[in-house]
A and B are shown apart, each in its own frame.
Chain A
Amino acid sequence: MTDTPILTIENLSISYEAGKYAVKSVSASIREYAITAIMGPSGCGKSTLLRAINRMHELYPDINVTGDIKLNGESIFSLPAIELRRKIGMVFQRPNPFPNMTVYENVVAGYSLNGIRLKKSQRDDIVEKALRSVTLWDEVKESLYRKGTFLSGGQQQRLCIARAISFNPKILLLDEPTSALDPIATSKIEDLLGELRKEYTLLLVTHNMSQAARISDDSMFMYMGELIEKGHTETLFTNPRDSRTEAYLTGKFG
Chain B
Amino acid sequence: MENILEDNIRRRALRNRRFKWLVIAGSIVTVTPIFLIVINLIVKGARQINLSFFTETSPDTFQAMTATANGEIIPGGIANGLTGSLIMVLIASALAIPTGLMTGIYLYENKKKRYASFIRSLAEVLQGVPSIILGIIAYIWIVKGLTKGYSALAGSIALSIMMLPIIVRSTEETMSMIPVQIREAAFALGVPYYKMIFRVLIPCSFSGLATGVLLSLSRILGETAPLMLTALGSPVMSLNVAKPSSAVPLLIWDFYNDPNMVNMVWSASLFLMIFVLSLNLLSRSISKKRKYI
Contacting residues, chain B, for A114 (C-beta < 8 A): 8, 12
**A73 interface hit (Cβ, 8 Å):** no
A142 to chain B, nearest CB (A): 33
Q: How far apart sit A80 and B13, CA to CA, in the bound complex (Å)?
A: 9
B43 within 8 A of partner (CB): no
Considering only CB atoms and an 8 Å cut-off, how many residues of chain B contact the other chain? Answer: 6
Q: Chain B 1-40, CB within 8 Å of chain A: the 1/0 string?
A: 0000100110111000000000000000000000000000
User: What is the CA–CA distance of A116 and B8 in the complex, to the nearest angstrom?
Assistant: 8
Complexed CA–CA distance, A82 and B9 (Å): 8
Residue of A nearest to B11 (CB): A115
Interface of B is mostly: helix
Once bound together, how far apart are the Cα atoms of A82 and B13, in whole Å? 9
Residue A83 interfacial (CB < 8 Å): yes
A115 and B12 alpha carbons, distance in the complex (Å) = 8
A116 — nearest CB in chain B belongs to which residue?
B8
Note all chain A residues with C-beta closer than 8 A to B5. Answer: 83, 116
What class of interface size applies to chain A in its complex with B?
A: under 10
| Interchain CB contact under 8 A, B8 and A115 | yes
In the complex, A115→B13 CA distance in Å? 12
Render A112-148 as a binary contact track against B, CB cut-off 8 A, 1 for contact. Answer: 0011100000000000000000000000000000000
Tell me the minimal C-beta distance from A84 to chain B in angstroms: 10
How many A-B contacts at CB < 8 Å in the complex?
14
Closest to B16 in A: A82
> What residues on B are CB-neighbors of A82 within 8 Å?
9, 12-13
In Å, the complex CA distance between A115 and B5 comes to 10
Question: When each residue 36-74 of chain B gets 1 if its CB lies under 8 Å from chain A and 0 otherwise, what string results?
Answer: 000000000000000000000000000000000000000
Bound Cα distance from A109 to B12, whole angstroms: 16
| In the bound complex, CA of A66 to CA of B273 (Å) | 51
Give Cα distance in the complex from A92 to B11, angstroms: 29
B-chain residues with CB within 8 Å of residue A116 when the two chains form the complex: 5, 8
> Complex formed: what's the CA distance from A80 to B5 in Å?
12
Chain B neighbourhood of A83, CB < 8 A: 5, 9
Which residue of A is nearest B15, CB measured?
A: A115
A186-209 contacts to B, CB under 8 A, are none
- Who on chain B is nearest to A81 by CB? B13
Question: A115 to B273, alpha carbons, bound, how many Å?
Answer: 49
Residues from 151 to 202 in A contacting B, C-beta threshold 8 Å: none
User: Given the complex, which residues of B lie within 8 Å of A115, measured CB to CB?
Assistant: 8, 11-12
Q: Could you tell me the distance between the alpha carbons of A83 and B10 in the complex, rounded to whole angstroms?
A: 10
Cβ distance A112 to chain B, nearest Cβ, rounded Å: 13
Residues of A near B9 (CB, < 8 A) are: 80, 82-83
Q: How long is the Cα–Cα vector from A83 to B9 in the complex, in angstroms?
A: 7
Task: Give bound CA distance, A80 to B9, whole Å.
Answer: 8
In the bound complex, how far is the Cα of B11 from the Cα of A116, in angstroms?
A: 12
Q: How far is the CB of B287 from chain A (nearest CB, A)?
A: 28
What's the least CB distance linking B38 to chain A, in Å? 31
B91-110, CB under 8 A of A: which get 1 and which 0? Answer: 00000000000000000000
Nearest residue, chain B, Cβ from A79? B9
- Distance, CA A83 to CA B4, complexed state (A): 13
Q: Which of A69-89 contact B (CB under 8 A)?
A: 80, 82-83
Which residues of chain A are within 8 angstroms of B13 by Cβ–Cβ distance?
A: 80, 82
In the assembled complex, the Cα of A83 lies from the Cα of B2 at a distance in Å of 11
Chain B residues within 8 Å of A80, by CB? 9, 13
* CA A115 to CA B8, docked complex, whole Å: 8
Write the nearest CB–CB distance from B14 to chain A, whole angstroms.
Answer: 11
Closest B residue by C-beta to A82: B9
Complex: A114 Cα to B13 Cα, angstroms: 11
Q: How far is the CB of B270 from chain A (nearest CB, A)?
A: 39
In the bound complex, CA of A120 to CA of B198 (Å): 69
- A80 vs B14: C-alpha distance when bound (angstroms): 12
CA of A12 to CA of B240, assembled, Å? 79
Min CB–CB distance B16 → chain A (angstroms): 8
In the bound complex, CA of A97 to CA of B61 (Å): 71
Compute how far the CA of A198 lies from the CA of B262 in the bound complex, rounded to whole angstroms. Answer: 83
A82, B12: Cα distance in complex, Å: 9
The complex places the Cα of A80 from the Cα of B12 at a distance, in Å, of: 11
With a 10 A CB-CB cut-off, give which of B5, B9, B13 has the most chain A CB atoms: B9
Cα A116 to Cα B13 with chains together (Å): 14
Cβ contacts under 8 Å, B12 to chain A: 82, 114-115
Q: How far is the CB of A193 from chain B (nearest CB, A)?
A: 28
B residues whose Cβ falls under 8 Å from a Cβ of A: 5, 8-9, 11-13
Counting from the closest, the 9 A-B pairs by CB-CB distance are A83-B9, A80-B9, A115-B12, A80-B13, A82-B9, A115-B8, A82-B12, A116-B8, A82-B13
- Residues of A at the B interface (CB closer than 8 Å) are 80, 82-83, 114-116
Can you give 6 A-B contacts (C-beta < 8 A)?
A80-B13, A82-B9, A82-B12, A83-B9, A114-B12, A116-B5
Q: Given A80-B9, A116-B8, output 10 extra A-B contacts at Cβ < 8 Å.
A: A80-B13, A82-B9, A82-B12, A82-B13, A83-B5, A83-B9, A114-B8, A115-B11, A115-B12, A116-B5
